Amino acid sequence: MIEIKDLHVSVEGKKILKGLNLTINAGEVHAIMGPNGAGKSTLSNVIAGRDGYEITGGSITYKGDDLLEMSPEERAWAGVFLAFQYPVEIPGVNNTYLLKAGVNAKRKHQGLEELDAFDFMKTVKEKAALVELDPSFLSRSVNEGFSGGEKKRNEIFQMAVLEPSLALLDETDSGLDIDALRIVAGGVNKLRSPDRAIVMITHYQRLLDYIEPDFVHVLADGVIQKTGDKSLALELEEHGYDWVKENK
Amino acid sequence: MSVLAQTQQDALNLFEKIGLPTQRDEDWKYTDASRLKDLLESKVSGASVDIHNLGITELDAYRMVFINGVFTANESNLPQGISIESLATFETSNDNNEKELAKLFQVSSSDPLMNGFAAYNAATAKDGAAVCLKDNSKLDKPLYILHVSNQSHVIRHGLMLGKHAEAEVIEHFISLGEDKALSNATTAIILKDGARLEHSRIQQEGKSQSHVARVEVKQLANSSYTFHGVELGGILSRTDLVVDLHEQGASCSLNGLFVLGGRQHVDHHTRIDHTAPHCTSREHYRTVLDGRSHGVFNGKVMVHEGAIKTDSNMSNGNILLSKNAEIDTKPELEIYNDDVKCAHGATIGQLDDKQLFYLRSRGISAEAAQELLTFAFADEVLVAMSNQTVRSYVEKAAFAKLPHSDDLEGLLSE
Ligand SMILES: Nc1ncnc2c1ncn2[C@@H]1O[C@H](COP(=O)(O)OP(=O)(O)O)[C@@H](O)[C@H]1O
Ligand SMILES: [Mg+2]
C-alpha cells in the first residue's frame, strides 16, 4: 500500500528523518515506537501532507502513486487518514458538517453521488457508538472544549466515518485512561480489515495489549533501527531504546 | 414652546455650533464625513412600496415599519397594553415615563462622541419608535423595527425599559433601489434597575447608501444590555455606540460583525463608561474584509475613579481576505482606579494553518477550508445572538457576501 524509501526530512534546517525505509501492506497493523523527538509525528505529518517539512531526499509511493506530489485533500480522497497527536480545536465548524463535507468531497472525487442526509446521519450515529462517543458531540464545534480523551475518541470516530485505506494513529493512546483506552482500542480493532492498513505510533507497550500489531518498528535517530513482532515491544519495555541502538 | 420643541431647538443650536466632523477630528480621522454633507437633509416623501416580502419575514415579532423615516401604520403590528408608538404621537402623553422619553432628545457637546450628525438628528427627527415598558413588564415577542429607504432621512428611536422590564429589539435597515442617500439614525435607551434589553442592529442598505448612527445607552443598577451590530450593506457606515454603566451591577455585552467587500467603509466607535462600581462590560468585534473595503474599530473603555471592581474585557479580531482591504483598530483603556480587572486586545490575521491542515486532511479542499474557516470566524460573534431566526437570517446574508465555492453549499442547512 505504501512504500517509503530512503526518506530524508528536515524541519527548519534540522535533519529529522535520515533515510527512513518502511513498507506497509494492506491488512497489516504496524506499531512505530521511539523516544520523544525521534520524528514519529514528523513521519505521520509528512505522509498526511502537512507543509513546513522539507523533503530533502527519498520517495513515498502510495497505491502506486507519488504521494509527495499530492495535496493533503487528495491524499484524504485516496484514503490516507491521520489521527492527530494534538487535534486542533475549530470553533464554529460543526463536527458533523466537517465529516459530511469530507465524505462528500471524497465521493465527488470518485464520481459518486453525495450521500443522502438521512443515510449519512445513520452512519454517523453508528460510528459514534463504536467509540462510545456521546451523540451530543456530533453537533458541537470540532474538538472545541473537548477533554484530551474526548479529542482522541473523536479522531477515531472520524476515522470510522471516513473509512480510510491507510490510517495513522499518532499517540492516540496518550491521555486516555484505561477504560477509554479499552473503548478506543475496541473501535480500532473493529476497523481492522484486509484492505486497510493501520499504523500506530505509541510510547507505550500497553496499547499493543489491546491492538495486536503484526510488526513493531523502533524509530530513533531518524531511521527505523529495528523491526520485529510484538515481542520487540516487550523487549523495549524492558531494556529501553539504547538497547535497540546497540543491538541492531 | 413644548418641552420637545425646546429640546430640538437646543440641539439645532448645538449643530450650528459644531457643524459636521472633519478628518481633523481624532474620532473621525479614518472616515471622511464631507462625502455626506450634501446628503444630510431629509428628503421625505411617502414612498408607496410593497414591503411584504422585505426584511426578516419569518420572524415572529411585533413590527414597526418606517419608510424613509416615516412610520407606516398599516404595515406595522403592535402589542396591546404596552406603549409602543410612533414618536410623533407620544408627546401629548401624560405618562411620566413617556415624559422622560422626551429627555432622550437632549444632546450636549460634552456627551462622549457627540458630533454634528447626532446633533442634527436630535434637532430634526420627526419620527421614530417610542417604546416604553412599565416596571416588571416583558415584551412577549421581539419588536422588529424595519427601516426601508431610498432617500435621506433622519430617525430617532427612544427605548425606555422600566424596572425589571425585558425586551428584545431588532432594528433592520434596508434600501429600495440604489439611490445615493443618508440614513441618520439614533437610538437612545434608558434601562432602569434590573431591566434587560437585547438589541440588534442589522445594516443592510443598498450599495450607494450611507448610514450614520448613534446608539446611546444609560444603564441603571443591575440592568443588562446586549448589543449585536451587524454591518453588511451600504457604502459608508459609521456607528457611535455609547454606553454608560451608570449604577452598580450594570452589565453590557457589545458584539459587532462587519462583512465587507468592494469599496465599503464601516467605522464603529464604541465608548463604555464604567461610572459605578461592580459593573461588567464585554465587547467582541470581528471583521472580515475583502476587496478594497476599509474597517475601523475604536473601542474605548473608561473606568472612572469610583468604579471599583470593574470587570471589562474587549477583543477585536480581523481577517483581511484581500491585499487591498484595510483595518484600523484601536482598543483603548483608560483606568482611574486600581481595583479593576480589565483586558483588551486586537488581532489582524490570516487563517490558522493548523486548522486549515486539519480540514484538508479530512478531505476538504484548500479553497473550501479557507472559506469555511472564514465563515466560522464571523459566525463566532453571532453565537451570542439568542434569537435563532435573526441569527440564521444574518448568517445567510453574511455567507452570501463571503466567497464560497460549491463545496460549501449546504453549510447553513446543518
Ligand atoms: N514544526 C516544527 N518546528 C520546529 N521543530 C520541529 C517541528 N516539528 C518537529 N520539530 C522537531 O523535530 C523533532 C521531531 O519531532 P516529532 O516528529 O514531533 O517527534 P516525535 O513525534 O517522535 O516525538 C523534534 O526535535 C522537534 O522539536
Ligand atoms: Mg509525536
pLDDT tens readout for residues B30-47: 999 999 999 999 876 656
B382 contact A CB<8A: no
Per-residue pLDDT for B88 more than 70? no
For residue B354, give the ligand nearest its CA: 1
- Residue A235 grid coordinates: 523487549
Range from A34-43, A175-184, B190-199 carrying the lowest mean pLDDT: A175-184
Residue from B361, B383, B388, B411 whose CB has the most chain A CBs within 10 Å, to mutate:
B361
Select from B360, B402, B407, B408 the residue whose CB has the most chain A CBs within 10 Å, as the one to mutate to test that interface: B360
Helix (H) or strand (E) holding B312: strand B310-320
Q: Work out the average pLDDT over A208-217.
A: 93
C-alpha distances (whole Å) from B382 to each of A82, A210, B146, B324, B396 are 32, 44, 20, 26, 12
DSSP state for residue A206 in the 8-state scheme:
H
With a cut of 60, say whether residue B14 has pLDDT above it: yes
Q: Give the per-residue pLDDT at A231.
A: 86
Q: Which CATH number characterizes residue A177's domain?
A: 3.40.50.300
Q: How far is the CA of A39 from the centre of ligand 2 (A)?
A: 7
Q: Above 80 in pLDDT, residue B90? A: no
Question: CA-nearest residue of chain A to B364?
Answer: A102
Q: Does the pLDDT value for residue B91 go beyond 90?
A: no
C-alpha cell at B65: 415599519
Instruction: Give the Cα separation of A54 and A46 in Å (integer).
Output: 9
Predicted confidence at residue B86, as pLDDT, reads 67
Ligand nearest, relative to CA of residue A170: 2
* Position B98 pLDDT exceeds 60: no
Tell me, what's the pLDDT at B381? 95
Q: Which residues contact B409 (CB under 8 A, 6 or more apart)?
A: none
CA A140 to CA A155: how far, in whole Å? 14
- Look at residues A143, A216, A206 and name the one whose alpha carbon lies nearest to residue A180: A206
Q: Please return the burial class of A194, using the count of CB atoms within 10 Å of its CB with bins 0-12, 13-18 and 19+.
A: exposed
Nearest to A101 among B361, B368, B373 (CB): B368
**What is the reported pLDDT for B237?**
98
Could you tell me if A241 and A35 are in contact, meaning their C-beta atoms sit under 8 angstroms apart? yes
- DSSP character for B138? B
Of B376, B408, B414, the CB nearest to A91: B376
| Cα(A151) to centroid(ligand 1), Å | 21
| pLDDT tens, position by position, B373-391 | 999 999 999 999 999 999 9
Contact B377/A at CB under 8 A: yes
Q: What is the pLDDT of residue B99?
A: 66
Q: How confident is the model at residue A47 (pLDDT cuts 50, 70, 90)?
A: very high
ipTM of the complex: 0.96
Q: How confident is the model at residue B103 (pLDDT cuts 50, 70, 90)?
A: confident
- pLDDT of B286-335, one tens digit each? 999 999 999 999 999 999 999 999 999 999 999 999 999 999 999 999 99
| A92 Cα–ligand 2 center, Å | 27
Nearest residue to B276 via CA among B252, B253, B248, B251:
B248
| Ligand found nearest the CA of A53 | 1
Q: In terms of residues, how long is chain B? A: 414
* Shortest Cα distance, chain A CAs vs residue B407, angstroms: 7
What mean pLDDT do residues A151-161 have?
Answer: 94
Distances (CA, A) of B12 to A110, B102, B107, B270, B382: 69, 16, 10, 24, 38
Of A71, A92, A158, the CB nearest to B362: A158
CB contact under 8 A, B363 and A102: yes
Question: What's the Rg (C-alpha) of chain A?
Answer: 18
| pLDDT-derived band at B350, boundaries 50, 70, 90 | confident
What does the pLDDT read at residue B283?
A: 98
**Could you identify the atom of ligand 1 that is nearest to the CA of residue A42?**
17
Examine the pLDDT at A212 and tell me if it is beyond 80: yes
Closest CA to B132 of B171, B93, B83, B167: B83
Closest-CA residue of B relative to A47 is B361
Minimal CA separation from A21 to chain B, in Å: 23
Atom of ligand 1 nearest to the CA of A201: 21
Shortest CA distance to B279 belongs to which of B307, B314, B299, B242? B307
pTM: 0.90
Per-residue pLDDT at A98 exceeds 80 = yes
* Band of residue B177 on the pLDDT scale cut at 50, 70, 90: confident
Specify the pLDDT at position B382.
96
Q: Give the range among B26-35, B103-112, B230-239, B243-252 with minimum mean pLDDT.
A: B103-112
Question: For residue B414, is pLDDT > 60?
Answer: no
Mutate to test the pocket of ligand 1, among A41, A55, A221 (most ligand atoms within 8 A of CB): A41
The pLDDT value given to residue A60: 98
Domain that holds residue A136: 2-246
- pLDDT for the residue numbered B94: 59
The pLDDT of residue B401 is 92
Count of domains forming chain A: 1
Percent over 90 (pLDDT), chain B? 76
Looking at beta carbons, which residues of chain A come within 8 Å of B380? 91-92
Q: How far is the CA of A13 from the centre of ligand 1 (A)?
A: 12
CB pairs under 8 A between A and B: 86
Is A32 in a helix, a strand, or coil? strand
Q: How far apart are CA A223 and CA A219, in angstroms?
A: 6
**Which of B216, B255, B214, B212 has its CA nearest to residue B234?**
B212
Cross-strand pairs, A170: A201
For residue A246, what pLDDT band results from cuts at 50, 70 and 90?
confident
pLDDT of residue B105: 80
B368/A90 CB distance under 8 A: no
* pLDDT at residue B161 in the model: 94
Instruction: Flag whether pLDDT at B82 surpasses 90.
Output: no
Spell out which residues of chain A touch residue B373, defining contact as CB-CB under 8 Å.
Answer: 90, 93
Residues with CB under 6 A from ligand 1: A 11-12, 16, 34, 36-42, 52
**Contact, B265 vs B31, CB < 8 A?**
yes
Write the residue with the smallest CA distance to atom 16 of ligand 1. A39
Q: Please say if the pLDDT value at position B106 is more than 90.
A: no
Tell me which residue in B353, B361, B380 faces A76 most closely, judged by beta carbons.
Answer: B361
Nearest to B354 among A72, A88, A98 (CB): A88
**Do B295 and B324 meet the contact criterion of CB atoms below 8 Å apart?**
no
Interface contact flag, A49 B372, Cβ < 8 Å: no
pLDDT at A1 over 90: yes
Which grid cell is B246?
Answer: 451608570
CA distances from B351 to A32, B317, B355, B356 (A): 33, 11, 8, 7
pLDDT of residue B172: 98
> For all residues of chain B together, what is the average pLDDT?
91
For residue A219, the ligand 1 atom closest to its alpha carbon is 22
List the single range of A177-181, B29-33, B47-51 with lowest mean pLDDT.
B47-51
